[in-house]
Each structure stands twice: as C-alpha cells, then as structure tokens.
C-alpha cells in the first residue's frame, strides 16, 4: 500500500505543502484507491470484448442526412410579435429594472 514517505514524495513533486493531518488523510485515501484498483486487476475479464457503449445494439449516433428546414413564414407563424422577418422581443438591456 501507500506509506507516509510516498505521500511526501508525491506532494514534493506536485509542490504541495501538507499538514500532518493532510498527510495522514492522503495516506489512507490513496491506499484505499490503490486497493480498489487492485480489486479491479483481479476481476476475470479474459475473453470480454472491449466496448465503447454499454448497449452494443444501440448506436447513439445517427447518419447525418440533409433535410430541408422550415421556411421563414412557417417558423415565424406562431410568433407573438414578428418584425422584418424576425421574432420581436421586448428590450431588456438598458430598460428600467433591467441589467
């Protein structure tokens, strides 16, 4: 596992100044992390194919297919206020009570 000297050496490489309490905490925390990594090393994964997605039958990416977009009249049809081919919104910058 990790001992105090290894934590101090790592702290020196990272140019960290640690208190005695932090050294003790890091020694325990890093030891626990390495323990978990060792447990993963012992897991039997021989014969398991590497994957990049959890559900291999589902491809989260779709083909990039060009489709026509909405024409301006259709997209602006439900706008509450339209001026010069754009949605019109109330002024908020510089307005009383605004930012």
Q: Got the DSSP string for 6-57?
A: HHHHHHHHTT----HHHHHHHHHHHHHHHHHHHHHHTS--TTPPP-SSS-TT
Find the farthest-apart pair of alpha carbons in the chain and give their distance in angstroms, rounded: 72
pLDDT at 94: 78
- Does the pLDDT at position 73 exceed 80? yes
Question: pLDDT for 21-60, tens place per residue?
Answer: 999 999 999 999 999 999 988 888 888 877 766 665 666 6
Q: Beta-carbon neighbour count of residue 28 at 10 Å?
A: 13
pLDDT at 90: 86
Q: For the chain, what is the mean pLDDT?
A: 86
pLDDT at 55: 61
Answer yes or no: pTM beyond 0.75: no
């Amino acid at each position: 596992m990790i001992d105090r000297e290894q934590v101090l050496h790592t702290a020196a490489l990272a140019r960290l100044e640690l208190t005695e309490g932090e050294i003790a905490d890091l020694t325990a925390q890093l030891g626990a992390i390495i323990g978990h990594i060792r447990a993963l090393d012992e897991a039997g994964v021989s014969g398991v194919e590497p994957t990049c997605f959890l559900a291999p039958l589902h491809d989260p990416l779709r083909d990039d297919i060009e489709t026509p977009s909405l024409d301006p009249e259709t997209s602006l049809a439900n706008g509450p206020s339209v001026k010069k081919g754009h949605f019109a919104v109330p002024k908020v910058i510089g307005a009383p009570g605004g930012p």
